[in-house]
Amino acid sequence: MIHVDYDACDYCGACVGTCPEVVIHLLDAKLIVDNKGCTDCGICTYACPVEALALDKLVPGGAAKQGGRREVVV
Ligand code: SF4
Ligand code: SF4
């Protein structure tokens, strides 16, 4: 599951096109994530320039940028 820090997000849209599951949408200047379709791959976390995206867990084989660090589970 992806969490969006809406205080940090500036709605730049950089994360939207990075999601292979196409579950991130920018609608009416609001960022919407359909977490039902999120596979916890972590790809979108690398796109965010202000680190507003975070996973609550990493799945095996996944990698994410969390709190400025790159974390990988193998
Ligand atoms: S973690 Fe992966 S599947 Fe989930 S929203 Fe980010 S890019 Fe999409
Ligand atoms: S890349 Fe980050 S700042 Fe830009 S819309 Fe996505 S979550 Fe918000």
What's 32's domain CATH number? 3.30.70.20
Domain with 6 in it: 2-72
Amino acid 47: pLDDT: 94
Residue 33: CA atoms inside 13 Å, Cβ hemisphere, count? 24
Residue type, 10: D
Q: pTM higher than 0.85, yes or no?
A: yes
Tell me, in angstroms, the distance from the centre of ligand 1 to residue 72's CA: 15
Whole-angstrom distance, CA of residue 19 vs CA of residue 58? 16
Tell me, in angstroms, the distance from the centre of ligand 1 to residue 17's CA: 10
Amino acid 71: pLDDT: 64
pLDDT single digits (tens) 26-50:
998 889 999 999 999 999 999 999 9
Our count of domains for the chain comes to 1
Residues in contact with ligand 2 by the CB-under-6-Å rule are 4, 9-15, 31, 47-48, 50, 52-53
- Closest listed residue to residue 6, CA positions, set 68, 42, 50, 71: 50
Residue 67: band (very low, low, confident or very high) from pLDDT cuts 50, 70, 90: low
Beta-ladder partners of 33: 24
